[in-house]
Amino acid sequence: MPTGKGQIGPELQRLIDLLAKLPGLGPRSAKRAALYLLKKREPVMRPLAYALAEAADKVAACSTCGNWDSIDPCAICADAERDGSVICVVQDVGDLWALERAGAHRGLYHVLGGLLSPLDGVGPDDLNIGRLVERARAESVKEVVLALPATVDGQSTAHYLSEHLAGCAVALTRLSQGVPVGGELDYLDEGTLAAAMKTRRPA
Amino acid sequence: MATPARAAGRAPVRFRRLALMDFRSYARAEVALDGRPVALFGPNGAGKTNLLEALSLLGPGRGLRSARLDELPRVGGAGGWAVSARLDVAGEERRLGVGAAASAPDRRICRIDETAAAGPAALAEHVRFLWLTPAQDRLFTDSPGERRRFLDRMALARNPAQARAAADYELAMRQRQRLLDERSRDEAWLAALETRMAEAGVALAAARRETASALAAAEIAAGDEDAGFPAADIALEGELEAALDAAPAAEVEEAFAERLRRNRAADAAAGRALIGPHRSDLLVTHRQKGTPARACSTGEQKALLIGLVLANARALALSARFRAGASAPLVLLLDEIAAHLDKDRRAALFDILDGLDFQVFMTGTDKSLFAAWGARAQGFAVEDGGLTETTLT
């Protein structure tokens, strides 16, 4: 008899189908994950189910910056220690985490939730842009840093944002491109080296 | 004979051994090479071009036929294939190998010195191929697109970063067109994409200009010494390329972005961008006659084309990147090149090739085509999927 879906109970099949929708998982790895969960029912599966339910109930996008958190405004926006005069614009929360990990930015953030891409059907209305312009108009804000990827979509989104922020009395900056910290010139690709040379500064 | 390539700081590369397994018409073939230029002769369909293709696959890209991976295994073979070579690079032996396993025919395997390479791009650090095939014979009469690609391939060989500009331009152009197709009136969004197009487009045009002027300089340097190969005047026909003559890049970018802005309605109606470096053309003129290449005879066109490829090889050998050792040594693959040339031109070609410091592989249907090369080249008769070494005289 062939092994088809019929041999897996509906509850388990549903779990596998849902797991298979996660990024990085396919049908096979989803099966493996489901079997693992069943084996680790008490130490992993029930806590995971509880964590999923809690996150689904409580985590939401911060109404100010778009960061995910269980409180609104989020912990970063609510942190009085942070410099409210600088807003760093990022594509996604993952980028916010990267900057936080580096401890490079002590100001606030703004999460766009994607990049403009007509071919992918992502337009300005799909991104958290209106709220950014609103925030940049506030008197306390002095600088907006566009920390977007150095790709065509990233750079055209940055350009679009700078047009829309032109009316606000803020300094617009973007991340510079060039030699990575601890990097050897010899190992850099030509494009990066050229960019580094173009944006050189007095030593 | 002028030999500018010898002045280059880069040591030449020589193939010492080439082995094919289940590749195209070859079940198994192995040849020992002694570093002289290689002449392959044999009847049509004997597998001469397959051999050149095998070589070209030892570089990045899809080889001189732009073949898909599933076209490469021998019909009737197990489904896998392999091409391997031993090269002498500045006195050191390098082993390069490409192929695919029967179990994963759509995954190209690249090996350098018997260890897996990160990808085909890694091969480009060891050897690069320039080629001329009969498919390019119609270059001067074909659409401008073919000539643009021809020029862009040459520009790419000079400066690999140019690939990025070309890809960025293409993407920004497609994104803008999608917006125009959707009748978007978002001024800022369109302007953002047009700025990207302008930046990448001007970089692209500048790289082409640099290549064209290096080519022109190499043509002039060659002068009358390339007996039998007519000198060509090279010009670029393109708005951005021309604008860069008169104004600095930043101004040209701004003007191009502005032109795109004014052209939105027209581009929307046409369904494509009507201006830009994706519309440029490479114009080649027979210098002595003053006739455009497309109006020249078939043989003359072939001679012009060979002259261009040789000029490109020289220009590359003289380029700063090459001399600094930043780009890999070159190997020239010339497929069926002798067919359109008379005896004197063939002899002149062999002399020129001897003067270049690149290893050359040539094919032709008949041994007599290579007679004038004599002992200066290594000859192989190609027949029934096998190779036999033969003297050319």
Nearest to B276 by CA among B168, B385, B384: B168
Q: What is the pLDDT of residue B117?
A: 85
Looking at the domain assignment, is residue B80 inside a domain?
yes
Tens-place pLDDT, residues B163-204: 788 889 999 999 999 999 988 888 889 999 999 999 999 999
Q: pLDDT exceeding 70 applies to what percent of chain B?
A: 93
Measured between CA atoms, the residue of chain B closest to residue A161 is B188
The mean pLDDT of B91-109, rounded to a whole number, is 88
The mean pLDDT of A102-112, rounded to a whole number, is 94
pLDDT band at B226 (very low <50, low <70, confident <90, very high): low
Residue B170 domain boundaries: 138-317
Please answer yes or no on whether A160 and B164 come within 8 Å at the CB atom. Answer: no
Q: Are residues A15 and A96 in the same domain?
A: no
Q: What CATH number corresponds to the domain at position A119?
A: 3.40.1360.10
Looking at the domain assignment, is residue B18 inside a domain?
yes
When mean pLDDT is compared across B7-16, B84-93, B285-294, B300-309, the lowest value belongs to B7-16
Task: Give the nearest partner residue to A118 out of B168, B175, B188, using CB atoms.
Answer: B175
Q: Are residues A24 and A112 in the same domain?
A: no
Q: Does the beta carbon of B172 lie under 8 angstroms from any beta carbon of chain A?
A: yes
Q: Does the beta carbon of B249 lie under 8 angstroms from any beta carbon of chain A?
A: no
Q: Is B47 annotated as a binding residue?
A: yes
Q: Does the beta carbon of A163 lie under 8 angstroms from any beta carbon of chain B?
A: yes
Q: Are residues B62 and B121 in the same domain?
A: yes
A197 chain-B contacts, CB cut-off 8 A: none
B157 chain-A contacts, CB cut-off 8 A: none
pTM, 2 dp: 0.74
Tens-place pLDDT, residues B34-61: 989 999 999 988 999 999 999 999 987 7
Q: What is the pLDDT of residue B5?
A: 39
Please answer yes or no on whether A159 and B196 come within 8 Å at the CB atom. Answer: yes
Q: Are residues A140 and A168 in the same domain?
A: yes
Q: What CATH number corresponds to the domain at position B86?
A: 3.40.50.300
Smallest Cα distance from B118 to chain A, Å: 15
Q: Are residues B70 and B144 in the same domain?
A: no
Q: Does the beta carbon of B261 lie under 8 angstroms from any beta carbon of chain A?
A: no
Residue A77 has φ and ψ, to the nearest 5°, of: -65, -30
Q: Is B45 annotated as a binding residue?
A: yes
Q: What is the pLDDT of residue A98?
A: 95
Q: Are residues A39 and A132 in the same domain?
A: no
Q: Are residues A84 and A54 in the same domain?
A: no
Three-state SS across B15-49?
A: EEEEEEEEECCEEEEEEECCCCCEEEECCCCCCHH
Please answer yes or no on whether A123 and B175 come within 8 Å at the CB atom. Answer: no
Q: Are residues B225 and B278 in the same domain?
A: yes
Q: Are residues A52 and A133 in the same domain?
A: no
Q: What is the pLDDT of residue B227?
A: 61
Please answer yes or no on whether A117 and B175 come within 8 Å at the CB atom. Answer: yes
Neighbours of B13 (CB within 10 A): 21
Q: Are residues B194 and B83 in the same domain?
A: no
Q: Are residues A47 and A77 in the same domain?
A: no
Residue A123 domain boundaries: 68-202
Please answer yes or no on whether B192 and A124 come within 8 Å at the CB atom. Answer: no
When mean pLDDT is compared across A133-137, A198-202, B366-370, B373-377, the lowest value belongs to A198-202
Listed by number, the residues of chain A in 128-157 with a beta carbon closer than 8 Å to a beta carbon of chain B are 152-153, 155-157
Q: Are residues B350 and B301 in the same domain?
A: no
Looking at the domain assignment, is residue B323 inside a domain?
no
Neighbours of A10 (CB within 10 A): 8
Q: What is the pLDDT of residue B8?
A: 39
Q: What CATH number corresponds to the domain at position A41?
A: 1.10.8.420
Please answer yes or no on whether A124 and B191 come within 8 Å at the CB atom. Answer: no
Three-state SS across chain A?
A: CCCCHHHCCHHHHHHHHHHCCCCCCCHHHHHHHHHHHHHCHHHHHHHHHHHHHHHHHHCEECCCCCCEECCCCCHHHHCCCCEEEEEEEECCHHHHHHHHHHCCCCEEEEECCCCCEHHHCECHHHCCCHHHHHHHHCCCCCEEEECCCCCHHHHHHHHHHHHHHCCCCCEEEECCCCCCCCCCHHHCCHHHHHHHHHCCCCC
Please answer yes or no on whether A194 and B184 come within 8 Å at the CB atom. Answer: no
Predicted ipTM > 0.90: no
Residues 6+ apart with CB under 8 A from B116: B109, B110
Which residue, B275, B291, B317, sits at the end of a domain? B317
Looking at the domain assignment, is residue B82 inside a domain?
yes
Q: How many domains does chain A have?
A: 2
Q: Are residues A90 and A50 in the same domain?
A: no
In this structure, what DSSP letter does residue B73 have?
A: B
pLDDT band at B221 (very low <50, low <70, confident <90, very high): low
Q: What is the pLDDT of residue A68?
A: 96
Tens-place pLDDT, residues A57-81: 999 999 999 999 999 999 999 999 9
Looking at the domain assignment, is residue A136 inside a domain?
yes
Q: Does the beta carbon of A194 lie under 8 angstroms from any beta carbon of chain B?
A: yes
Task: Give the nearest partner residue to B196 out of A119, A152, A163, using CB atoms.
Answer: A152
Looking at the domain assignment, is residue A3 inside a domain?
no
